[in-house]
A and B are shown apart, each in its own frame.
Chain A
Amino acid sequence: MRWSRRDFLKVVAASGGIGVVGATQVDRLLGLGRKPEGKPVYVPTVCEMCFWRCGVMAKVVDGKVVKLDGHPAHPQSRGKLCARGHGGIGLLYDPDRLKHPLIRVGQRGEGKFKKASWDEALNYVAEKMLKIKETYGPESVALFTHGTISTYFVHLLWAYGSPNLGMPSYALCRGARDIAFKLTFGAPVGNPERVDLKNSKVIVLMGFHIGENAHNSMCQEFAEAVGKGATVIVVDPRFSTAASKAKYWLPIKPATDLALLLAWINVIITEGLYDREYVAKYTEGFEKLAEAVKEYTPQWAEKETDIPASLIIETARIMGKNKPSVLIHPGRHTAWYGDNTQRVRAIAILTALLGAYGRPGGIYLPPKNPLPYYGFGDFCGIPYPENQKPEIHKGPYPFTREEGVIPEIIKTTLTEKPYPIKGWLITGTNLIKSTPNQRDTIEAIKKLDLVVAVDMMPFDHVLYADVVLPECTYLERYDDIFVVKERSIGVALRQSVVNPMYDTKPGWWIAKELGVRLGLKEYFPYNDFEDFLKAKCEALGLNFEELKQKGYIEIPGTANPYINEASEFKFKTPSGKIELYSKQLEEAGFPPIPTYTRHEQPPKGYFRLIYGRVPVHTFSRTTNNPSLWELMKENAAWVNAKVAKQLRLKNGDYVVLVNQDGVKSNKVKLKVTERIRPDCVYVPHGFGSFSPMLKRAYLNGADDQQLITRYAVDPISGSVGMRVNFVKIEKA
């Protein structure tokens, strides 16, 4: 009954692997001049409704996309899509889309624009960028970017001569996790995370709400594991969807997660529950670790975390008993407090003690990648110019990465030290909603000579742009080939399913046209993007036509999930072993083994602001999407039922949240529930847009980011801790 791979190939073959399907092509294909309704054409492509990048089969009828389904062969979709994936049609046909280039006529923030031609808009940007380069140097232009468009704009930025870029996905999201795993195991845990969920016997989720973050294949494997009877342990101040599947829900006092982790490590070591052979063979620093965690007893942790010592011991024993098939999920959004790297290091250490890295049910190993790296730089074959000035985007953090620390760029823009930043290119990220302390962001914008927004939708940050360049949606464009690193290596192609609507253009075209106007033509040696894709396919040893037809091709023989214990295995750390004790951290002046520091708790009358995801939206990106808006139009602030009673508030009442700095949220509905601790308020992220051009999302719900005026930067990785704000509840 299921759509088999063979059926799927038949369908693809029948569609002729056609990329762009306009109405005329459908007519021609079907030999119909009148009513092609009923004869669908299927085009494989890659989703961009979030950043999991599932394979998609787009069903096109009469030149219109009518249904999006999961690509059966793509390991991240496995024939299924999440709500947002299905809702991609809503993005394509959202009447509020950016339709033409715009040039600002009012004040920044007013959102008053005039329609412009691409030539006008691009010339305007290029002129300003050349002037900034001449006056201040190219480093004075910074790029904020997220998603596939980054490929083209980072290339443009580097060709122009600036190193200063910031991706929210690093410091504001996964950064600390990647650094912690790199320090411990010599490799980040990957995206998608290399979690062997389907084989796990014990799954530990710390503030990680699978289901509510609907990362497709991860949800599939989580459900599979639950179905097979895995013991789920959820550590969360909120009774999440995942908690409802758990045997143990540990409603931890927020900000004390590291205490629990250290106590678990303590029990695992003192009770001898660790994998002795694995630890002896693959790790370094065990004795020092054992010594360091002696003080972190379950009884001590009980006082910190509110979790009874007996429960800490019981859950540790369950992990020990089921080793190595224990997955302590490393998380994705790990930007919580000022010690993010150390917290995730504790997860990594616990994983290592249980022998769960490179073993079934734990964290599987990266696949063997036979494909050479081939980027834009390789295609154009010209080196990027040397930086004349020091980069500022990484801040003073020794273990940060090229993706940068966004608040550092904002700070430099404000202080003009060590040099002024005068131009911001913002591609694919709603900077207002993704970055803490909106006041700083808006103040920094006042210092700029140029603000450019390249986007599909008129999000909040677009209101501040001098020039708005409308990108077409993922269903209307080709993008760089994705090398998929799941259990095996595979390649996936995003191809246009329909022609771009309105006067919108693909990111690669916009970057190139800007490059040409900046005198950087040689960096963009393509006319059509297929020139690049064909060259890349050749470099990777792939057939472009086959890739177009199939959408996803797996490279056989690349899976290598578990450590081969018979042969020597070297980790890519300086010692070649798992570094329980990190010399790298020690040499940089940080504790080589995580130590606990107490974080500030909310003052009387205040609640800690925590935030998270809902399954039907991706940050603020989808809040205006008609298909998804219909499922969730506004967010609600979760408040414990007893607290609500004391405050004489009822479920559904509208309230205003006021943070410790007096910043007031938009009015937001109250969700009075037993599913949350009394000391915190939970707000689903991404709502409360103040862009009136988003007709559906405008002022619906509260914006958690607006209330995040304080943040604590992790000195190791530059990860920006955002769960350090407190709010009180006032009647709206």
Chain B
Amino acid sequence: MPRYAMVIDVEKCVGCMACVIACKKENKVAEGYFRTRVVEEVRGEFPNLRMELRSELCNHCEIAPCIDACPTRASHRAKDGTVQIDHKKCIGCKACILACPYDARYIRPDGTADKCTFCQHRLKEGKLPACVETCLGKSRIFGDLDDPESEVSKLLRTHDAAVRLEWAGTKPRIFYVNKRFPGGF
């Protein structure tokens, strides 16, 4: 069983937003909703500034509060290790939305919860997630943590990586490598 993960090489994000719309089109995400976003964070005062562009999406946590919170087991861990939603089982109770510390979920127009699937349908065809495939800067890197030769494994071996809200103890599978500010942004 693979352990899919994504490494965001923060320095290489050029803020083009191709990921955001490629995801929307690939997954037919309804108007007004997004499964991924690029957050701009600025620190300092003119002219001593730094800025981080940070891609955010569902962390496919190893300890997933959304799965624990789901009363119907609609939110579940799939065989490939990713966190998925069975829309037939979802009752739209929003417990998962409250449980998720990353603001990764929303209720879509049919009343069920929705979020990033790591483009599971594409993975099955041997393709990369749509956001990764189109990332102009190759800032989004996807692969299998169990494969020591995968680019994600190699990057995580050679660089300090951060996760969002580490204190939440969710063991995210989205890792951030910031070569520009390796000590943290």
Which residues from chain A sit less than 8 Å from chain B, CB to CB? 1-3, 66-70, 79-83, 85-87, 89, 210-212, 214, 216, 219-220, 222-224, 226-227, 239, 241-245, 249, 251, 615-616, 626-628, 630-631, 640-642, 673-678
Contacts and interface: CB of A to CB of B under 8 A. Distances in A.
B133 A630 contact: no
Contacts of A615: 14-17
A642 B46 CA distance: 9
Nearest to A674: B46
A345 B18 CA distance: 34
Contact of A80 (B127, B135, B142): B135
5 contacts: A80-B18, A80-B135, A220-B138, A223-B136, A245-B11
Interface stretch (B25-33, B80-88, B90-98, B109-117): B25-33
Given A80-B136, A675-B42, 10 more contacts: A2-B128, A66-B28, A80-B133, A87-B21, A214-B16, A244-B50, A615-B17, A616-B21, A627-B24, A640-B46
Contact of A214 (B18, B126, B133, B180): B18
B42 A86 contact: no
Contact of B21 (A80, A243, A627): A627
A292 to B, nearest CB: 31
Contacts, number: 140
Contacts of B28: 66
Interface in B1-40: 9, 11-18, 20-22, 24-26, 28, 31-32
Given A244-B53, A627-B24, A249 B47 contact: yes
A610 to B, nearest CB: 15
The 8 closest A-B pairs by CB, nearest first: A223-B137, A211-B14, A244-B51, A83-B17, A219-B136, A86-B21, A214-B16, A223-B12
Interface size class of B (residues with CB under 8 A): 35 or more
A631 B20 contact: yes
B153 interface: no
A244 B137 CA distance: 14
Interface of B: 9, 11-18, 20-22, 24-26, 28, 31-32, 42, 44-47, 49-53, 126-128, 133-139, 142-143, 179-180
A249 B51 CA distance: 12
A244 B50 CA distance: 6
Nearest to A66: B25
Contacts of B20: 83, 631
Contact of B134 (A81, A224, A242, A243): A81
A244 B17 CA distance: 16
Contact of B26 (A67, A241, A642): A67
A631 B21 contact: yes
Contact of A86 (B9, B22, B31, B44): B22
Contacts of B12: 223-224, 226-227
Contacts of B32: 630
Best-surrounded residue of B22, B28, B139 (most CB of chain A within 10 A): B22
A222 B31 CA distance: 32
A239 B49 contact: yes
Nearest to A247: B180
Nearest to A210: B14
B18 A82 contact: yes
Nearest to B44: A674
Contact of A67 (B25, B44, B45): B25
A249 B135 CA distance: 25
Contacts of A86: 18, 21-22, 25, 134
Contacts of A674: 42, 44-46, 49
A56 to B, nearest CB: 12
B127 A1 contact: yes
Contacts of B21: 83, 86-87, 616, 627-628, 631
A678 B46 CA distance: 9
Contacts of A70: 134
Q: Which of A80, A86, A615, A628 has the most CB of B within 10 A?
A: A86
Contacts of B15: 211-212, 241, 615
B19 to A, nearest CB: 9
Contact of B42 (A1, A216, A673): A673
